[in-house]
Structures are given as structure tokens and as C-alpha cells.
Chains A and B, each alone.
Chain A
């Protein structure tokens, strides 16, 4: 059990939003491991619980209505859920940093960018204001923004540059874990490529681990080592990028890959997974995916599937597939 290389170990995490109209099962018994220096792609549809998981790791679930019901989040062997708020504040930013989805709104509009980077540095390092501002300038240069622009306000930057500033803030205190919540969704494609290139480079330079939340399988292929596919609050397939991409096993993952257009093929209509995401207030019994699954059997609606290692380092939560592969 004691694996020194394991940086993040989430066990059986359950997060609910208790609203007036019912309990939203955002994350249900999620298990996830991340090794030091690894990057994990966290893929799933809107509403699958990806952002909730990320906020759960940071302990930033808006409460009320959100509530972490059970589970453990072991970070460097310590359970984040047992930490006090003051201890969490020292961890946020310094050890676990987050990049938000929309750079247009994740910077304070009335503060110059150097001050925003310096704020992060001042909160976690014992340096003078002057020194912090100097380091802020260094960070800006690192993400490819000229130092002269450090006294500018966020609205004076373009979207891609703002995201660079956000990345500079996130990396300013040299975090061990970087959580990027759809960092390129709000950017156009050419800028996406630049920002991803930058993140890839900096991740190596800072030797940080990363969780990249996205619904773009292409981005995951580009920068991640591991992939976790999430469906209705649970990880359904988890594994090494190569084996998962070469050989997707869970019926949901197969459906996802089939709905990605192929550049060499000319199709008018992409295959889709029939049906809709289940209502998170009223999840199906057993495997949440069974009503939409083409391989579903009678047992799928009864038992909640366990994660099984079907290939080395490749876990799938589907008993039907397990049987197919295990006994074939």
C-alpha cells in the first residue's frame, strides 16, 4: 500500500449537492491514483463530475449546497479532507494549483497582472513586495509575455495572453500538482495549440504532476500519460494513454472514440451513443451506463461494477467486458 511514488490517491470519493429539488450525485465512489510527475487526462461529458472532483481535491466545493459525503483524498499520504481550513489555505496554490476554464473571468479586472501573480507569491513565500513583483515579472517572461507589460490590467491582454497569465499565477509557487480545468475551452484553436505547447513545456520544467480536465480526446493524446474516463460521477476506465487509446475496453469509451471524426474518412454523420446522460438526481441502479449500453446484460442493472485490471495498468469497470476478455 505504501507507494512512495503515489502523489494523489483518491479513494471512494462521494460528493453530493443537496438542493431543494433533490440530491445531485455529482461524484459517486470515485477512485483515482496519480503518480509523481505524471499527467492524467480526465475525460467525460459535461456534468460527469470532472470539475466537482477537481474542486473537491482543492476543498473548494461551494457549501451549501455541495458536500463531500465520504472518501479520502490522500495527497502525499495525508488526507486533505481531514485538514483544517487554515492548513488547506497553505496547500492551495503552494502545493496544488489550479488553472480555470475561462481566462476572461478568472483574473481580477481591477488589479494589474503583476500584482495578481505577486499575491500568490506573497501568500506562500516569505518575500518582500518588491521581490515578489520581480519574480512576477520573471514568471510573465517564462510564459512568453514581455516584462514591460507587467503593469497592465487584464482587459489589455488577449484571451490567449490572459490564459498565459493564469498559468503564470498557477506556477508561481512551484506547485507539485497542477489541476487544469478545461484550460483551452474558451480559446480558439490556434491559441489552444500554443497554450497547450506552453503547458507541456512548463510541466516538464517544473516537474509537476498534472490533472487535465477536458472533453477533448485529442488534447489528452497530446499531453497526458494516463487517462481516466468519467461517466455519471464515476471513473469507468482508467489506464495508460497508449493502451487505452489503442484498445478502449469500456463500452462508453468505445462509444466516445467512435464519435470522434477521422480525418481520413468522409462521413456525413458521426456515430453517437444513443440516449442521454442520466439525471444526476436519479442515477440508474447498478452500472450507470447500462440503459445506453449496447452490451448490457441483465446483471448490469443490478450490480455496481467494480474496477478490474484487464490489461497491465488498464482498469475497466465493466463485468461484461471483463468476462469477454478474461475467459476468451
Chain B
């Protein structure tokens, strides 16, 4: 076998891929990232086809089968109303994934824009934006979310908004930090010298160069958003019972943890697995998006 024969077509092949495929291709080389992607894909699949997959209704009570440990009928057991935990987990994926991704999306877009603007323009604009962020940061995140939900009224959408807004300052700070460090580099001056507008420089030159910390923070952020939403559900400001939600299940099972630990174990595992998968995926994405680590 000749080595060059293998390398040459590989080289030409690599050049032909678009940027999106290129990232996917590089992502595929990291087993951990693929593991993460697979778990996320599985969860998304469960969330979409919950009706088909779930063996029981998530809210139907069955008082003859309360507190059952895992068995052939109820794979993950039942809860205090005899509801099937597996089915509740599958339906719960809907809510939890939505809350996690949409809340982070809200936080990322708002915080990212605010951070990019204040980092790029500096001066009084930077000062006023960041001082508002400092005020928000000085209020504990959960407390802030509680206040927002209390003002808007409990619903899934308001829950996401509340969790999202309470995370905005974190993203604004992170984005501003990386924008500040990128802004002073010579290629930004070069971009200005070819006649690019400010918006173009921010979107095409600065943000792509500050992806790494943003991606890491977002993947971690999805996790904390799920937990935050769970906390709100626990005090009755989030998902209303009997609707299934991982955090609510966790807190619901809390009082029975001594006698029936499976009620808290499985929702906890689901949250943990999601977060772990997201972190793996985020790590892989960060590496895949960095052209310097190519191949």
C-alpha cells in the first residue's frame, strides 16, 4: 500500500466540503462529541415522538400500583400516584429540552448582542450596559427568575423567558470580554481598512473569533437552565402538575427519597446524562470550529 495514494484523494476531498460539512466532519472524529450528539439526538427523538414511544400516559394515575420499583411492566417504576416514571421522563424531555435550549437561546442572543455592542463601542454605552448587567448580577439568579415569573404569571413560555433573562448578564459579560480582546487585534483594523461596516466587523470578524468561551458557557448554561426551571417548578411557578417535567419530578420524589429512591434517581440521571452529553458536544464543537486544530 502506498501512503501517498491514500493521502492525495483525502486532501482533494477535504477541500471540496462546505464549511458546515467541514465542521461536522471534524466533529465526527471526536468519539466523545459523537457520544454527546447521539444522546442529544435520542432525547430529541423521544421528545418529538413521545406519544409513540411512551408505554403509558404520563399523567394517568394508577393508585393500585403506587411506589413500585422497576419491573417488567414499569421499567423505571412508578411514583406516588402510580404514574409510569419512564413515560413521564419521555414526555418530560419535551419540556426540559425546550426550557434548556430556548432559555439559553434567549440569554445568548440578548446577552451576546449587549455584550458585543458594549465591548465593541466601549465608552459611555459600554458603561451603561454593563452597569445594568451588574445590577442584574447582584440579584441571585433564582430570585430574579422568581420575580419575573411572579410578574408574568406561571406558564411554560414565561418560565423560559424568566430563566433566559436571569442568565443574560453572564453571557453579556463573557461575550464582552472576548470581544474586547479580539477588537484590539490588527486584523480588525485591517477589516476596517478595507471598508467594512461596524456591524459586519462584529458579525463576521469578532464573533467567530470569540466562539470558544461562548460555546462552552452555552452548553453549561443549558444544564443550569434545566435546573433553574426545575427549581421554579418546585415552588409552583413553573410547570404545573400533573404535567411531567424532570425538575418537578425530582423535587416531587424528594420527600420519598429514603424509601423509594428510584423516584429521584431516574429524573436525576436523565438531567445528568443530558448535561454530560451537552458538555461533550460543546467541547467537541469548540475544537471542530477552531481551524487551527484541523485534522
| B-binding residues in A (CB < 8 A) | 58, 60, 64, 88-94, 97-98, 100-102, 105-111, 119-120, 123-124, 148, 151, 153, 155, 166, 169
Contacts and interface: CB of A to CB of B under 8 A. Distances in A.
A100 B194 contact: no
Contacts of B211: 110
25 contacts: A60-B189, A92-B194, A97-B194, A98-B190, A105-B185, A106-B187, A106-B189, A107-B190, A108-B208, A109-B187, A109-B291, A109-B292, A110-B208, A110-B209, A110-B211, A110-B289, A110-B291, A111-B205, A120-B195, A123-B196, A124-B195, A148-B15, A151-B15, A153-B291, A153-B292
Nearest to B19: A112
Contacts of B208: 108, 110-111
A137 to B, nearest CB: 12
A3 B191 CA distance: 33
Contacts of B123: 64
Contacts of A58: 193
Interface residues of B, number: 24
A120 B194 contact: yes
Interface in B259-295: 289-292, 294
Contacts of A153: 291-292, 294
Contacts, number: 76
A119 B190 contact: no
Contacts of B60: none
B195 A91 contact: yes
Given A97-B193, A153-B294, 11 more contacts: A89-B197, A92-B195, A98-B193, A105-B185, A105-B186, A109-B209, A109-B291, A110-B208, A119-B194, A120-B194, A169-B194
B180 to A, nearest CB: 14
A108 B194 contact: no
A192 to B, nearest CB: 19
Contacts of B291: 109-110, 153, 155
A108 B192 CA distance: 12
| A88, A89, A110 pick with most chain B CB within 10 angstroms | A110
Nearest to A105: B186
Nearest to B193: A98
